[in-house]
Amino acid sequence: MAINLGAPKGKPGRATPSMNVTPLVDVVLVLLIIFMVITPLMARQFWIHLPNQEEKNEPPAPDDNNQTIVVSVTKAGEIMINNAVVSEAAFPEKLKRVLAAKGDRTIFFDADEEAEFGKAVATMDLARAGGANTIAVLTQPLAHP
């Protein structure tokens, strides 16, 4: 006995099976819309510190290790701690050590004009993974050597 796929009618006298998809579509639609609502609400925040302008005359000396820690991102996307290039994988560990040596969990941050903002934020994120509590952005471009 062959199964008659796709035939509009079955054996005479038997009811044609038909599926009522309306409730299914209804539920799927509602789920879709619920996710459309929830996804934009998942955006979170990341607080960064803008140092007071008076603080600005305490200039971060990038080459002076015991002064301030300056994390910067170059145009090519490399991460630097006080002008020394650090690989992305080693960066949190390295920063953890530098911060421990300093005892203060504040870092200054800057990136190249052409650097991508997403990359800059990802670096700040890694810095937070490395234990930096306060991230202050420098509003004057760093003089890159």
Partner 1 sequence: MNVTPLVDVVLVLLIIFMVVIPMMEKSVSVDLPNIFHVDEEAKGKTDPFTLSLTKDGAMYFEQEKLEEPEFKTTLTAALEREPHRRLVLRADRGAHYGKVRKLFKVCQGIGFPGISLRVNELKAAPNPH
Q: Among residue numbers 61 through 80, which ones bind partner 1 (CB under 8 A)?
A: 73
Q: Which of 2, 7, 21, 36 touches partner 1 by CB under 8 A?
A: 36
Pairing of strands 70-73, 79-81: antiparallel
Q: Which of 26, 58, 64, 104 touches partner 1 by CB under 8 A?
A: 26
Q: Among residue numbers 78 through 137, which ones bind partner 1 (CB under 8 A)?
A: 92, 110-118, 120-122, 124-126, 128-129, 137
Q: Which two tokens stand for residue 132?
A: 């930096």
Instruction: For residue 89, give the DSSP letter.
Output: T
How many residues of this chain interact with partner 1, rule: CB under 8 A? Answer: 44
Q: How far is the CB of 13 from partner 1 (least distance, A)?
A: 32
Q: Among residue numbers 38 through 57, which ones bind partner 1 (CB under 8 A)?
A: 40, 42-53
Q: Which two tokens stand for residue 114?
A: 């052409």
Q: How far apart are CA 73 and CA 51, in angstroms?
A: 19
* 63, 68, 71, 75: CA torsion to nearest 10: -40
Q: Which two tokens stand for residue 20?
A: 């009522």
| Closer of 5 and 114 to partner 1 (Cβ) | 114
